[in-house]
Chains A and B, each alone.
Chain A
Amino acid sequence: GNSVTQMEGPVTLSEEAFLTINCTYTATGYPSLFWYVQYPGEGLQLLLKATKADDKGSNKGFEATYRKETTSFHLEKGSVQVSDSAVYFCALSDRTSGAGSYQLTFGKGTKLSVIP
């Protein structure tokens, strides 16, 4: 079956530090990969996505590259801000895993706190 493993938090960084949140996946087919972000008191928002190997998703200074050889989709940002404090979820969608399968498999989430 499909699964997503992401680094456990919480992660605490100083403002302007470099961020990496590791994510690896297991999938039976050819998944699309996503990073979602959840700010305090809100639902999840799509941050970025990549649909095939070697694609790079980017948004708001965040980047992640779909690495099929290492089954990874690590999230990076060069300089974090206090406003980036949130919970980050890695997810995959594998339509080929079953007819009519339109579901996301989520990692457990990584809480990021950025301090001034």
Chain B
Amino acid sequence: EADIYQTPRYLVIGTGKKITLECSQTMGHDKMYWYQQDPGMELHLIHYSYGVNSTEKGDLSSESTVSRIRTEHFPLTLESARPSHTSQYLCASSSTGETQYFGPGTRLLVL
């Protein structure tokens, strides 16, 4: 079973602030993903990475950016938070690309 961590678990922040959501995994998985989960529960892939120095945008357009400098670390950054960014953000990792292991999520509220 993969161990995957997300911090913070909850974040309340004002409009215009820069934030970084952290995601780390200890299983050496080369594939990592960020999903945005809306209040209706639907999941939207916003970023993914298949290895170090590799990042791609997902199906849902997002104003966030990601980096993958180390295998275990896949942070997501919002340069200027807005109320429309209020959501839950889920990070996942995988070795095969099929079974994905999810972190506990970060609930973001932008005022």
Binding site for B on A (CB under 8 A): 32, 34, 36, 38, 41-46, 49, 87, 89, 93, 95, 100-104, 106, 108-109, 111
Contact = CB atoms under 8 A, between A and B. Distances in A.
Interface of B: 4, 6, 31, 33, 40-43, 45, 48, 50, 90, 92, 94, 96-105
Contact of B105 (A43, A87, A106, A109): A43
Contact of A45 (B6, B41, B42, B102): B102
A101 B58 CA distance: 12
B96 to A, nearest CB: 8
B23 to A, nearest CB: 11
A87 B102 CA distance: 14
A93 B45 CA distance: 14
A43 B98 contact: no
The residue among A32, A34, A42, A103 with the most chain B CB atoms within 10 A of its own CB is A103
8 contacts: A46-B101, A93-B97, A102-B48, A102-B50, A102-B94, A102-B96, A106-B43, A108-B40
Contacts of A36: 102
Contacts of B105: 42-43
Contacts of B102: 36, 43-45
Given A45-B102, A89-B43, A111-B41, A102 B90 contact: no
Contacts of A49: 98-99
Nearest to A111: B41
B97 A108 contact: no
Contacts of B99: 34, 46, 49
Contacts of A87: 41
B104 A95 contact: no
A100 B4 CA distance: 23
Contacts of A106: 42-43
Contacts of A46: 99-101
B104 A43 contact: yes
Nearest to A89: B43
